[in-house]
Amino acid sequence: VQLQASGGGLVQAGGSLRLSCAASGRTFSSYTMGWFRQAPGMEREFVAAILRSGSSTFYADSVKGRFTISRDNAKNTVYLQMNSLKPEDTAVYYCATGPRIIYSTVRARGAYDYWGQGTQVTVSS
């Protein structure tokens, strides 16, 4: 599985961005998809995840109510709509997936086997 993230950029606080992650391979619809982010000097942290059917979504408390994850299995793509952005949302955002993710581990970085290259999101104050 190869993942290609895009859509990052520079935005003012309060603005919006939509990230996309295109996946190769026929297994996309079989896997949970997740977004993580990593700020300079910080650990990579969970942002959001969506189960393979799209029926359930999960969010970090810091983004709940502002970010929305969705997926289009026909296009092998997962999205992260980010609204009301804050300077503390500045980070490199990574999409990830893998066959070992289960309901109880969707927030665990170690449960994901495949990672995209990351896309930079910078929010100015």
Helices (H), 1-49: none
Confidence of residue 25 (pLDDT cuts 50, 70, 90): confident
Closest of 1, 8, 83, 15 to residue 38, by C-alpha: 8
Round the average pLDDT of the chain to a whole number and report it.
95
Q: What pLDDT is stored for residue 29 in this prediction?
A: 84
Confidence band of 28 (pLDDT split at 50, 70, 90):
confident
The pLDDT of residue 26 is above 90: no
